[in-house]
Amino acid sequence: MNKQKHSMQPIPSHDEAVRQDFVTDFRAFLTDELYPKITPYYKSRIEPEFIKEHGRTPEDKMEVQNVMVQDSAYQSWSFLQRISQQMMFTSVIDTVERTLEDLIKKTKEYSTLGSLELDPAIQIPRYLTAYDIHQQPGGYHMENTKNDISAGVVYDISLPIYSNDAMGDENDLLAQATINFIKNNINTMPKKILDMGCYIGNSTLPYVRAFPESEVHGIDVAAPGLRYAHARANALNASVHFSQQNAESMSFESNTFDIVTSCLFLHETSHAAIPKIINECARILKPGGWMIHLDVYPFQRSVVEPLYDFLKDWEVTNNNEDFSGALREMDLQGIFEEAGFSKETIEFTSAEASSETNKGYTGDFYLKLPVYVAQKMA
Amino acid sequence: MAKKIILPRVAKGKNLVYLDDNSVDNILAMVMTLTQEISVLTDRLNTIEHLIAKNGQIDLDDIDNFEPDYQLQEKRSERRKSLLKRVLLPIEKALDSK
């Protein structure tokens, strides 16, 4: 059964394919059938008990959490949600393991466009080695064999399962949102673009397509992702220059790029890393160049309602996303100003994309995600 | 032949307990994996039925090359959802209780 979207992806066997299909339907079942029951359940069962005991409703997310983790109905949903992610990975790893040798050989054929520069001496930051982000076994950086690409392949073929096919054939709907934002709000014809934390380049390639005159670079610390990214870009006929670098300290010369961007990258770093990364963005941008990061909602703590706050951070606790909760509370405005971005250009706004206008997207999927935008002083 | 490459299948991270203890969590995880395997068997059987109905016989390679059309995929998806609904009924009921 052919789930292959480009020639660097493996073809699953019959049983592997339907095993993966089950995970897609399992996740849809959790989202569509069980998740909507949680808020009514909380309102009718959990909150009244809390009021009886404390004479008031819970004040914050922590108070909600304390009662919810004691409740077996909620915990059952939460556990199912957690293992659906584990089942997603185990069901695609079978396919990757079986086909890996051939795929690694194939990377040699797919290497003419763009470039790939690896740095065997690079130190993988602790925020990526302490635990496996998103529960991907081995994390994004693990080398299981020579010239390994397995973690990159696993990531590429699990994304459609994770997103219920909403991300498109090239897994690029998120970057489409950033590009829509750039085209609608920033008057620029970028000559050089950098995507930080690019991993397999699924959010990097859309820049090649949207700005065909530009030179597009992608950096990441994880070699298995970059090797795969380069072969994948070739399979999709796109030229990108990939290099293995840490965004906290890059080898690019100052004043090089017109646009520096990232996609769901900042929340995978750390408190200490964020100011360094932002300083580096300011350094390598040309005067007047733009920084645009698509990421989680900032400054959300004081708002809405404790149950919503609690549920919104589900992935932080349950899907190995420790820093994404903390990122929301950082003073990004201050960090951007300190790094040399013009105060009046700093914006925390949102970017939108819709699946109907692009090929390869199933159904009508609309997406609105936060972007952090700032312009380097001219 | 080179040594077979083995990829890791368990993620590193905190050991979280969701239900009464780790063994209850493990049992639920195993139930879901068994449910998944029932679904795999059902789909495989369905593929074989389609191949026989069409060709009157089975060539083993045909199974891996079989591509269900959109309608059949939807039908299978519906059947998986009804399997999930039956298996997870106790949890759904618990979340419904007034």
Q: How confident is the model at residue A1 (pLDDT cuts 50, 70, 90)?
A: very low
Which residues in chain A have Cβ-Cβ distances shorter than 8 Å to B7?
A: 93, 96-97, 100, 137-138, 144, 150, 154
pLDDT for A302 = 53
Whether A206 is in a domain gets the answer yes
**Range of A345's domain?**
161-375
pLDDT of residue A205 exceeding 70: yes
Q: Are A350 and A314 in contact (CB under 8 A)?
A: no
Residue to test with chain B: of A22, A38, A165, most B Cβ within 10 A = A22
Token digits for A143?
Answer: 């080398």
pLDDT for A305 = 85
Who wins on pLDDT, A227 or A187?
A: A227
Whether A168 is in a domain gets the answer yes
pLDDT for A281 = 98
The nearest CA of chain B is from the CA of A177 a distance in Å of 28
Which of the residue ranges A33-37, A192-196, A356-360 would you say has the lowest mean pLDDT? Answer: A356-360
A269 touches chain B (CB under 8 A): no
What average pLDDT does the structure give for chain B?
Answer: 93
A39 touches chain B (CB under 8 A): no
What average pLDDT does the structure give for chain A?
Answer: 93
Q: What is the DSSP letter of A298?
A: P
Nearest CA in chain B to A94: B7
pLDDT of residue A298 exceeding 70: no
CATH number at A263 reads: 3.40.50.150
In angstroms, the CA A198 to CA A337 distance is 25
Nearest CA in chain A to B6: A97
What confidence tens digit (pLDDT) does each residue in A234-260 have? 999 999 999 999 999 999 999 999 999
Q: What is the mean pLDDT of residues B7-12?
A: 92
Q: What is the mean pLDDT of residues A306-321?
A: 88
Which residues in chain B have Cβ-Cβ distances shorter than 8 Å to A13?
A: 64
Q: Which of A166, A218, A176, A174 is nearest to A197 (CA)?
A: A218
What confidence tens digit (pLDDT) does each residue in A60-104 have? 889 999 999 999 999 999 999 999 999 999 999 999 999 999 999
pLDDT for A150 = 98
pLDDT for A324 = 85
Whether A346 is in a domain gets the answer yes
Sign of the C-alpha dihedral, residues A81, A361, A155, A175? Answer: negative
Residue to test with chain A: of B9, B15, B18, B98, most A Cβ within 10 A = B18
Which residues in chain A have Cβ-Cβ distances shorter than 8 Å to B77?
A: 21, 25
> CB distance B47–A150 less than 8 Å?
no
pLDDT for A168 = 87
Burial A11-37 (b: 16+ CB within 10 A, else e): ebbbbbbbbbbbbbbbbbbbeeebeeb
> CB distance A89–B13 less than 8 Å?
no
pLDDT of residue A357 exceeding 80: no
Sign of the C-alpha dihedral, residues A324, A265, A23, B35? Answer: negative
Q: How far apart are the first and last CA of chain B?
A: 62
pLDDT for A367 = 84
pLDDT for B14 = 85
Q: Which residues, numbered 146 to 205 in chain A, qualify as contacts with chain B under a Cβ-Cβ cut-off of 8 Å?
A: 150, 154
pLDDT of residue B1 exceeding 80: no
Q: What is the mean pLDDT of residues B48-66?
A: 94
B8 touches chain A (CB under 8 A): yes
Write down the pTM of the prediction. 0.94
Could you give the 3-state DSSP secondary structure of residue A123? coil
pLDDT for A300 = 54
Which of the residue ranges A155-164, A182-191, A300-309, B17-26 would you say has the lowest mean pLDDT? Answer: A300-309
Q: How many domains does chain A have?
A: 1
Strand ranges in chain A using DSSP code E only, listed in sequence order: 115-117, 192-196, 215-220, 241-244, 257-263, 285-294, 347-354, 366-375
Name residue, tokens 């963005």.
A281
The nearest CA of chain A is from the CA of B34 a distance in Å of 11
Assembly ipTM: 0.94
pLDDT of residue A160 exceeding 90: yes
pLDDT of residue A170 exceeding 60: yes
Chain length of chain A = 378
CB pairs under 8 A between A and B: 148
Q: What is the mean pLDDT of residues B57-69?
A: 93
pLDDT of residue A216 exceeding 80: yes
Q: What does the domain layout of chain B look like in residue ranges? A: 22-96
What confidence tens digit (pLDDT) does each residue in B16-54 have? 899 989 999 999 999 999 999 999 999 999 999 999 999
Q: Which residues, numbered 33 to 62 in chain B, qualify as contacts with chain A under a Cβ-Cβ cut-off of 8 Å?
A: 33, 35-37, 39-40, 43-44, 47
What confidence tens digit (pLDDT) does each residue in A97-132 have? 999 999 999 999 999 999 999 999 999 999 999 989
Who wins on pLDDT, B92 or A320?
A: B92
> CB distance A14–B64 less than 8 Å?
yes
Residue to test with chain A: of B36, B67, B87, most A Cβ within 10 A = B36
Whether A275 is in a domain gets the answer yes
